Amino acid sequence: MNQPPVHHNAPPGLRAWLDSLDASREPSVRDVTIDGVRCIIKRRRPSIGRGVSYALRYVRAAVLGAGCKLFLGEFPRPGVLLHNGLAHEAERLSELLKAGCRVPEVWWQEQGLLVLEYVGDDLADLIRNEDSTSQLWLTRAAASDLAAFHARGMWHGGAQIRNVTRQDGELWRIDFEENIGSALSRPLAQAYDLFQMLASLVSLRKLPDDVARTLGKLALDVYLECNPDPEVITRLTRLARVLCTIATLLRPLLGRMPWRDVQGFFRVADILQPLLLKS
């Protein structure tokens, strides 16, 4: 069993450093070292067309929800989906911290601002730049970590490989702004997490096709070995059926396109294809 996470202390000069800035010139995300302590600063500014933007996002969420109901059997309510952002992330981090999960502490929060503990380098960058042995090890670690997270009844909502970090030999989870898990059943939210991890892994830049497919298949196999939850497998199989049907229709037209996201879509569909043979 993993040991409880070890957290850093917030830099004593954090508030003074924040007060010294012109917030209007700050980027949306900044990695900064204050008093020798590294932290992540996230900002979200209210837009002039906030009402119009919300209406458009609500319509988009409703359309996506209708598609989810049609193909996956569940309708994620748009109002729940759109309860997201920094305030939501702070709430989720507080809950996960209480549960002993490896997520960053919130060191400062106010309207439109969140200062988070730095918890290591993201796995997407590590996997791209490591040798093949390390790539396999990191992929196994990411898949087993997600499986353990799910086995505790948790969901991430943004489980892309870039949102898993490594520090002092341990894996941590970051970026909890999205609220999709609250709008879905636990099994479908977890199946979607797994899909996000697989799709992001096989779409990484610099990975040759054969390496990407090997890592994706390994991640799926390790996850299912560590967390063979039949409810998650049922939802994932239904999702795979939709993806594979779309891939079959689009492959003659787009199969040779070199674009990373397009090839990643076909790769993840192929990796999930064997699930259909078992259903």
Residue 274: the pLDDT is 96
What distance in Å separates the CA atoms of residue 83 and residue 61, rounded to the nearest whole number?
A: 12
Q: Which of 158, 184, 162, 179 is nearest to 171 (CA)?
A: 162
Look at the alpha carbons of 122, 123, 128, 131 in this order and tell me if their dihedral is positive or negative: positive
Domain residues of the chain, as ranges? 26-44+85-117, 50-81, 121-278
* Mean pLDDT of the chain, nearest integer: 93
Residue 45 in this model has a pLDDT that exceeds 90: no
Would you state the pLDDT for residue 1? 46
How far is residue 4 from each of residues 145, 151, 170, 265, measured CA to CA in Å?
14, 17, 11, 36
| pLDDT above 80 for 7 | yes
Mean pLDDT calculated for residue range 78-85: 86
Asked if pLDDT for residue 74 goes beyond 70, the answer is: yes
- According to the model, what pLDDT value does residue 52 have? 61
Residue type, 120: G
CATH class for domain 26-44+85-117? alpha beta
Whether the CB-CB separation of 11 and 37 falls below 8 Å is answered with yes
Q: What is the arithmetic mean of pLDDT over 162-175?
A: 96
| pTM to 2 decimal places | 0.94
* Statement: residue 51 has pLDDT above 70: no
Share of the chain above pLDDT 90, in %: 80
Q: Taking residues 212-238, what's their average pLDDT?
A: 98
Distance (Å, rounded) from C-alpha 84 to C-alpha 64? Answer: 16
Q: For 30-44, what is the mean pLDDT?
A: 96
Exposure of 246 by Cβ count < 10 A (0-12 exposed, 13-18 middle, 19+ buried)? middle
The total of other beta-carbon atoms located within 10 Å of residue 67's CB is 12
How many angstroms separate the CA atoms of 178 and 180, rounded? 6
What is the arithmetic mean of pLDDT over 82-110?
A: 95
DSSP 25-58: G--SEEEEEETTEEEEEEE-PPPTTHHHHHHHHH
Please say whether the beta carbons of 185 and 74 come within 8 A: yes
What is the mean predicted confidence (pLDDT) over 189-215? 96
Is the pLDDT confidence value at 134 over 60?
yes
Nearest alpha-carbon partner for 89 in 176, 201, 10, 202 = 176
pLDDT, residue 80, reads: 86
pLDDT at 46 over 80: no
State the CB neighbour count (10 A cutoff) for residue 144: 17
CA 255 to chain centroid, in Å, comes to 26
The stretch 60-83 carries a mean pLDDT of 88
